Chains A and B, each alone.
Chain A
């Protein structure tokens, strides 16, 4: 039978069936359209993002911490990438043999390793900051659950020599001490990130956007001169060993610019290996420890006397019989002298003479001078733990206190403050701020404390102190004219003076045009000698001589050519 003649065709279907099917189809289309609107319009952002996350990645861009260099560009602190090994304890199922190999590579105890892996945590560090070659060996073991991450470690090539100046950083690469802390904002890098498209093999094929560009930390050029610093450190170390002293410090300042060329403290530590650090090693004594400056304070008293016009350099003062009683206290001289000029009072370091000069001042005058020269207030170099020393308000001074303060007792200072105060003598009476970083040009004139004439007269007195007949002939240097002052102070312990001493020497050279100020402090020399002129002055001479030569400062004392051929011992000491 033919299809066209089928009887079924002649039967008319009810019209609603066709409409019903059409409606169904329309409905299906409608649903599809609605769905597509929902996906393409309403949820578009979410889905786009989901899709992108299948191939786009945000990668972290690490930033390195700035380097610290000395004034001539020698590197003092450099960060270099190292690896840290960490584990997911749950995944790290190591066989005893594997654990032993890993522990041996990391130079740690197997029990310690197993203890860490047994921790109920998702993440444990096994060992931080291991060298790259060890990291490669660990990676080659391909142990399950053991991973590595890149970190930075800071190295200090100069080791303990620059330890106190630079300080150090923690494992997180943030500064914790010294320059590292003081300049942390500038040194620290800011890690960035960017979004990229990666292909099947993990290669980056397209940059989508830079979310945050990484910012490497800025390099810092210090005022420090590595050679001067080395000289200061080694000579101080030698002196400490010879005199069996407890601690010590040396500060070297550039008199023209106020730059800190050297800052050494002992005891020191190795910043590259800080396992056994003690508080005593960490102290940056030159800035955080105060001491009574003793006779190194006398030149300020003399300068004030000249400045006020009450004395001249050659005014006579009777210091016999070497004692002076004020109230119910008596001041002594180590050696009694007769009548001395002001210059001789400084040269011979007479307590009585200085106290008599100070007796002519009003307390406020003296306090103002101390305050102007920076005693009693921190230097604000930005160093952590800086202190200002003690300078009591003048209203509470008793006459005996004013007298003892004139020769450096009853007042306390840091070595850095003392060195800076001597800048006023080295620089024709003005005081400039100190700088830890290299200065491109000398600062404009600072605060004027004394007149240029007074400063020159005090310089002449201080030069006498290192010549034969003064307290510190051992501070002399061949070829240069040197000026300075010794100090030997009893240490205050529990409110009374003990039989322990601080030996100090502060001075500058060359006297004809002062270039460097060097201050040396040696705490508790206990090998017999304790006078500043015996203990601290030789260190001053060594550091000063080496530094002047290093900096190429022209000699200002005659070195006659005929002496070249002569025996060393034959050279007169006055050179």
Chain B
């Protein structure tokens, strides 16, 4: 009788400790997930800012200015355009 009781106590103890340990792991993992989700949101914000930056750099006004002033480009005059027909 005594041995059965001791065995049961041991099992209960082990189970209790297991619960505590797994709960702890769960919480740690959860915190980690939270951190990653926060990072995801941060990256999304950064993406938006980068898109904004890209749009600003690629604004047509800036491109035209660079093309005209730095690269000395100009629209082709009517006579300089050559239309190529696609061979059938």
By a beta-carbon cutoff of 8 Å, the part of chain A in contact with chain B is 64, 67, 74-76, 78-81, 155, 157-159, 161, 199, 203-207, 226-227, 230, 234, 478-479, 554-555, 559, 561, 563-568, 570-571, 575
Total A-B pairs in contact (CB under 8 Å)? 82
Answer yes or no: B77 CB below 8 A from chain A CBs: yes
Closest chain B residue to A197, Cβ basis: B27
- With contact pairs A158-B59, A230-B61 given, residues A80 and B30 touching in the complex (Cβ less than 8 Å): no
Top 9 A-B pairs ranked by shortest CB distance?
A: A478-B78, A157-B55, A230-B60, A568-B77, A205-B27, A75-B55, A563-B79, A157-B56, A204-B34
Answer yes or no: B71 CB below 8 A from chain A CBs: no
Contact B48 A78 (CB under 8 A): yes
Closest chain B residue to A563, Cβ basis: B79
Contacts of B14 in A (CB 8 A): none
Closest Cβ–Cβ distance, residue B84 to chain A (whole Å) = 10
Contacts of B15 in A (CB 8 A): none
Q: In the complex, A356 Cα to B56 Cα: how many Å?
A: 55
Closest Cβ–Cβ distance, residue A153 to chain B (whole Å) = 11
Tell which of B27, B34, B60, B82 touches A227, judged by Cβ atoms closer than 8 Å. Answer: B60
Tell which of B34, B49, B52, B77 touches A203, judged by Cβ atoms closer than 8 Å. Answer: B34
Given contacts A64-B48, A555-B83, 7 further A-B contacts (CB under 8 A): A75-B52, A80-B48, A157-B56, A159-B59, A230-B60, A234-B61, A564-B80
Pairs A–B under 8 Å by Cβ, sample size 25 = A64-B44, A67-B51, A74-B58, A75-B51, A78-B52, A157-B52, A157-B56, A159-B61, A161-B60, A199-B27, A203-B34, A205-B31, A206-B27, A207-B30, A230-B60, A230-B61, A230-B64, A234-B61, A478-B78, A554-B83, A561-B82, A565-B79, A568-B77, A568-B78, A570-B79
Contacts of B52 in A (CB 8 A): 75, 78, 80, 155, 157
Contact A479 B55 (CB under 8 A): no
- Between B30, B54, B60, the greatest number of chain A beta carbons within 10 A of the residue's beta carbon is seen for B60
Answer yes or no: B4 CB below 8 A from chain A CBs: no
Closest Cβ–Cβ distance, residue B80 to chain A (whole Å) = 6
Contacts of B49 in A (CB 8 A): 80
Contacts of A205 in B (CB 8 A): 27, 30-31
Contact A81 B34 (CB under 8 A): no
Q: In the complex, A571 Cα to B76 Cα: how many Å?
A: 14
- Main SS at interface, chain A: mixed
Contacts of A76 in B (CB 8 A): 55
Contact A559 B60 (CB under 8 A): no
Contacts of A155 in B (CB 8 A): 52
Closest chain A residue to B85, Cβ basis: A554
Contacts of B81 in A (CB 8 A): 478-479, 559, 564
How many chain B residues touch A (CB < 8 A): the figure is 26
Answer yes or no: B12 CB below 8 A from chain A CBs: no
Q: In the complex, A236 Cα to B56 Cα: how many Å?
A: 22
Closest chain A residue to B31, Cβ basis: A203
Answer yes or no: B45 CB below 8 A from chain A CBs: yes
Contacts of A81 in B (CB 8 A): 45
Contact B83 A559 (CB under 8 A): yes
Closest chain B residue to A203, Cβ basis: B31
Contact A564 B78 (CB under 8 A): no
Contacts of A157 in B (CB 8 A): 52, 55-56, 59
Q: In the complex, A199 Cα to B34 Cα: how many Å?
A: 13
0/1 per residue, B6-37, Cβ < 8 Å to A? Answer: 00000000000000000000110011001000
Closest Cβ–Cβ distance, residue A80 to chain B (whole Å) = 5
Q: In the complex, A566 Cα to B54 Cα: how many Å?
A: 40
Closest Cβ–Cβ distance, residue A266 to chain B (whole Å) = 15
Contacts of B31 in A (CB 8 A): 203-205
Closest Cβ–Cβ distance, residue B34 to chain A (whole Å) = 5
Q: In the complex, A561 Cα to B79 Cα: how many Å?
A: 9
Closest Cβ–Cβ distance, residue B19 to chain A (whole Å) = 15
Closest chain B residue to A570, Cβ basis: B79
- With contact pairs A78-B48, A157-B52, A158-B59 given, residues A575 and B78 touching in the complex (Cβ less than 8 Å): yes
Contacts of B58 in A (CB 8 A): 74
Closest chain B residue to A478, Cβ basis: B78
